[in-house]
Amino acid sequence: MKDRLVPEQAERYQAHLVLPRIGAAGQRRLLRSRVLMVGVGGLGCPATLYLTASGVGTLGLLDDDIVDRTNLQRQILYGTADIGRSKVQVARERLAAVNPDVVLEPIEKRLTPSNAMELVAGWDLVIDGSDNFATRYVVNDACVLSGIPLISGSVFQFEGQVTVIRPPLSPCYRCLFRTTPREQSSCRDFGVLAPLTGIIGSMLAAEAVKWLIEGETALLGRLLLVDALESSTRSVRVKSDPRCPLCGREPEIVRPTAVATCSDSSD
């Protein structure tokens, strides 16, 4: 990526260039960045749309699923004609039409404990938009062990949450959830409000852009909670657990380890 923006880029990103916290230098950093999106579903669709429009240089799309009719209520990159097609291939087509500056890398694989370290390697930032705890713990482990910042989001019915994970600056996912919350242990039939996935997905993209530009975010050590039913948000401060088996004083986990089983991979 050249140091100077070409005229077409200056026009495309004009709304970023006039922002004092971004400007031309920040936009160039975005254009040089590499982001991996884990799960191109309800959260991954809006997140990747905004990251692509924002000019993230290289965007990895990790998902092994195909488009299902039940996805269409909230997964906004897909349409009826895409049913049965690979999500990452359809997403690449849609996103390529949004911004030719962005290199899109479809990765049609399921992230597992055995391949997680390989899949997260080489990325500046990882975003977790998966819909199950098995994947969330594995992504968390791989990122913490690799020293890669992770932005994690989830939705459940009318509620969503977002946090940024970068030990020792913040707790890891295992600090927050030592065991799988019982009420969310099932990935099927819990339901989710369609626009909520857009809200949380957009927040994932916003935190990613801030991190890539400045290397900081207000959600380090904080958990943002969104209640779409009550139209309210609040953030709570969260602390690292010194007994955490991954990032605590005496870590025991040396490789990604799943603590839950669930068949779905991305909401």
Instruction: List pLDDT tens digits, range 153-184.
Output: 999 999 999 999 999 999 999 999 887 765 45
Q: Which two tokens stand for residue 107?
A: 């990765």
3-state percent breakdown (helix, strand, coil) of the chain, nearest 5? 35, 20, 45
Q: Is the pLDDT of residue 106 over 90?
A: yes
Lookup result for tokens 């004092």: 20
Q: Is the pLDDT of residue 138 over 90?
A: yes
pLDDT at res. 214:
85
- pTM of the entire predicted model: 0.94
Q: What's the mean per-residue pLDDT of the chain?
A: 93
| Residue 107 CB-density burial (10 A; 0-12 exposed, 13-18 middle, 19+ buried) | middle
Percent of the chain with pLDDT over 90: 86
Q: Is the pLDDT of residue 53 over 90?
A: yes
Q: Model confidence over 214-265: pLDDT tens digits? A: 878 999 999 999 999 999 999 999 999 999 999 999 999 999 998 754 444 4
Alpha helices in 33-100 (DSSP H): 44-54, 87-98
Q: Is the pLDDT of residue 189 over 60?
A: yes
Q: Which two tokens stand for residue 169?
A: 């600056």
What domains are there in the chain, each with its CATH number?
24-237 (3.40.50.720)
Alpha-carbon distance values, 40 to 20, 37, 46, 60, 204 (Å) = 31, 7, 9, 10, 13
| Residue 108 CB-density burial (10 A; 0-12 exposed, 13-18 middle, 19+ buried) | middle
Cis peptide before 168 (omega within 30 of 0): yes
pLDDT at res. 61:
98
| Residue 231 CB-density burial (10 A; 0-12 exposed, 13-18 middle, 19+ buried) | exposed
Q: Model confidence over 90-101: pLDDT tens digits? A: 999 999 999 999
123 neighbors 146 (Cβ within 8 angstroms): no
Phi, psi of 5 (to 5 degrees): -80, 140
